Structures are given as C-alpha cells and as structure tokens.
Amino acid sequence: MKPTVAPFPSSRLRRTRQSSAIRALVRSNSLSVDDLIWPVFVRDGKDTEEPVPSMPGVMRRSVDLIAKAAREAADLGIPAICLFPYTDTSLKTEDCAEAWNPDNLCNRAIRAIKDAAPEIAVMTDVALDPYNINGHDGYVVDGEIVNDATVEALVKMALTQAESGADIIGPSDMMDGRIGAIRKALEQDGHHNVMILSYAAKYASSFYGPFRDAVGASGALSGDKNTYQMDPGNSDEAMRLIERDLAEGADMVMVKPGMPYLDICRRAKETFGVPTFAYQVSGEYAMLQAAAQNGWLDGEKVMLESLLGFKRAGCDGILTYFAPEAARLLAA
Ligand SMILES: NCC(=O)CCC(=O)O
C-alpha cells in the first residue's frame, strides 16, 4: 500500500515526531524482552566461571552456574536460553561420540536448567564442531565433509538432547537432509512437541571468530566451512534452504549472522511468514562492545538500536549475547 502524502504544508511529516509521547504512539516496531534468546557457554567444573576475552561481558560457566544464570534470565522474563558447550580437548574425537553422551556438558546443563528454571525454554545446538577433533560441523573423510554419515550422528545427538529435556533443537550444521531426519526420529521416539529451529540460512561468515574462541574450536579447525555454510553473496539460495527446511518439518527458521544479513531476514519473513529469528553473532557483539569500550559509541544505545533493527527487518526474535543487559534496560 502506497501512503497518501498531502502537499506541503498540509502534510508536515515532522508533526508525528514532535514529542516522545507522539513518537511512541506512532512507532511501528518495538523491542521487548519476549523477543530475546540468550546464548550461553557451558564449561566443566563447579562454581566456576571465566570470561571470554574476545567477548567482553560474556562468561563460560559451569553447569551449576548456568542453572543460576538461567534462573536469573527467567526472572528477567527472557523466554529462552541456548546452550553451547566448551568441550575439553581430551573429549574431542574423530567419531564425535561425546556429542550423544547423555551426560555430556550440554545434556547435564539442560537437566540443571529444567530443575532451576522450568519456565524458560531450553534451546540446544546440533552440530559436531564442539566434539570434532577437526573442528568441523560434520565428519571429515579424506579432507571432505561427508553429509549422510554426519546426519546419522546429528540425529543421535538431537535425540539425547530431547531426552534430556530440550524444548527447541537448533541444527546449525548446514548438512542436507538433517531436518527431515531429526524430525522423523523425534516423532518416532515420542518427542512430538520438541520444536526445531533450523539454522536454515547460515552463512560462511568471518563474524564467528570470537564464538570459536569461546567454545575452544579456533585451534581445532582445519580449513574453512565454505562447502556447507552459505556463500555471503547469495540471497535466492537462502529462500530455497528455508523452504526446504520448512518442508522437512522445521517449526522456525534462523538467519545467521544478523546485522549484515537483514535483507535476508526481511525476504524470509515476507516469503514464508513463519517464526523467523536472527542470530546477532559473536563478531557483531564484539564489535559493538569494542567500540563502546573505546568510548566511540554509546554501548547501551547501539545495543538497543541494533536489536530493534531485527524487529523492523521482520524478525520475531533475536539470539543475542546482549539478552540479559537488554532485558534489564527494557524493564527500567
Ligand atoms: N552454531 C552457533 C554459532 O556458530 C554461533 C556463532 C557466533 O556467535 O559467532
């Protein structure tokens, strides 16, 4: 619909910008705590937390402290928390068996959160990289990331997460056919209500660097992820991937990274009209924090403005390391 604009001075578009009250009244998009998913890093030990140097303000926490953090997040009204394990190098193998160990860090954290904060939704990550000696999201055979054998491993991983109590499974691996395989296995095992939030349009991005430090995958990774993650130049391909994942049984879809890919968020929402999320990834977080720490940007203001941008682009929610800080500011 094309808005009608009367000729000046009948029309003065500044009229609706004249006061805070009127601006609030006519604002089309807003950010609320309901829009936030908080990604957190889990490590071993007890009552232990350590900062991630390239992500100021972000911690790796032991399972007991993750449960405490989840309780605090729930009290702030944050609807979901997403777990990423920092796996000890001694547990990384070529067969990635730790990924489906019912007692691995992630599965223990799910159970601890469910005890401490049953009302918060727990989302998990499905990809082999935290457990893979090669640092890749899939099995590496003769230098190639093999698809179908990886999907079988991902299914085992997703099932142990669902059995541990995960509400939302987040396959981030970008293998072909994994959504259908995971959905079928979840149905067969009676996990009818477990949701899949597919990382459908995940780009091979250089904005993931600090995350790889946070989960201890930077040193392990040999080569790059360009044969499975998307080429940053592509947009139509993102629509094909989203359509394919929805057809295979995804309940919600994600675009990742966020800020450099807002065009994809908008296209995804307009094309499919399904719950659409963006991941404001570690590099986006790090650059805003670095500029704020240098006094070059107002940290709180750019954080809220960047998150509102996702809403304007059509997203229903955002995975962001800023979640608790944003929730506190929104409540103030
Ligand atoms: N599968 C999860 C990620 O790759 C996160 C990336 C980031 O925050 O940089």
CA-nearest residue, atom 9 of ligand 1: 208
Please provide the average confidence, as pLDDT, over all residues in the chain. Answer: 96
Per-residue pLDDT, averaged over 199-227, amounts to 90
Q: Which residues fall within 8 angstroms of residue 173, CB to CB, at 6 or more apart?
A: 126, 127, 128, 137, 138, 150, 154, 199, 228
Q: What is the mean pLDDT of residues 109-129?
A: 98
Q: Is 172 touching ligand 1 by the criterion CB < 6 Å?
A: yes
Arithmetic mean of pLDDT, 61-80: 98
Name the range with the highest mean pLDDT among 129-138, 149-158, 204-213. Answer: 149-158
Locate tokens 């996990």: which residue? 191
Percentage of residues of the chain with pLDDT beyond 90: 95
Tell me if 254 sits within 8 A of 277, measured CB to CB: yes
Question: Does any ligand 1 atom lie closer than 6 A to the CB of residue 245?
Answer: no
Residues with catalytic function: 202, 256
pLDDT tens-digit series, residues 172-181: 999 999 999 9
Q: At 63, is the secondary structure helix, strand, or coil?
A: helix
Expressed in angstroms and rounded, the spacing between residue 208 Cα and the centre of ligand 1 is 6
Distance (Å) from CA 200 to ligand 1 centroid: 13
Residue 290 exposure: Cα atoms within 13 Å on the Cβ side: 10
Percentage of the chain exceeding pLDDT 70: 100
Instruction: Identify the pLDDT of residue 47.
Output: 98
Residues 6+ apart with CB under 8 A from 8: none
* Cβ–ligand 1 contact at 54 (below 6 Å): no
Residue listed under structure tokens 């201890």? 216
Ligand 1 centroid from CA 209, angstroms: 9
- Ligand 1 pocket check: which of 172, 279, 320 to mutate, most ligand atoms within 8 Å of Cβ? 279
Q: What is the pTM of this model?
A: 0.97
Distance between CA atoms of 230 and 227, rounded to whole angstroms? 8
Residues 6+ apart with CB under 8 A from 22: 15, 16
Residue 92 contacts by C-beta under 8 Å, 6 or more apart in sequence? 98, 130, 131, 132, 133, 220
Ligand 1 pocket test target in 106, 215, 256, 284 with most atoms within 8 Å of CB: 256
- Which numbered atom of ligand 1 lies nearest the CA of 207? 9
Answer yes or no: is the C-beta of 208 below 6 A from any ligand 1 atom. yes
CB 322 near ligand 1, within 6 Å: no
Domain 31-331 of CATH type 3.60.20.10: no
C-alpha span between 122 and 79 (Å, rounded): 9
Ligand 1 nearest-atom number relative to CA 212: 9
d(CA 274, CA 209) in angstroms, rounded, equals 29
**ipTM higher than the 0.90 cut:** yes
Ligand 1 within 6 A of CB of 205: no
What is the pLDDT, as a whole number, of residue 220? 75
Q: Please report, for the chain, the start and end positions of each structural domain, with discontinuous segments joined by +.
A: 31-331
Q: Is the CB of 281 under 6 A from ligand 1?
A: yes
- pLDDT band of residue 255 (cuts 50, 70, 90) is very high
Higher pLDDT, 215 or 61: 61
167, 195 Cβ separation under 8 angstroms: yes
pLDDT band for 156, please (50, 70, 90 cuts): very high
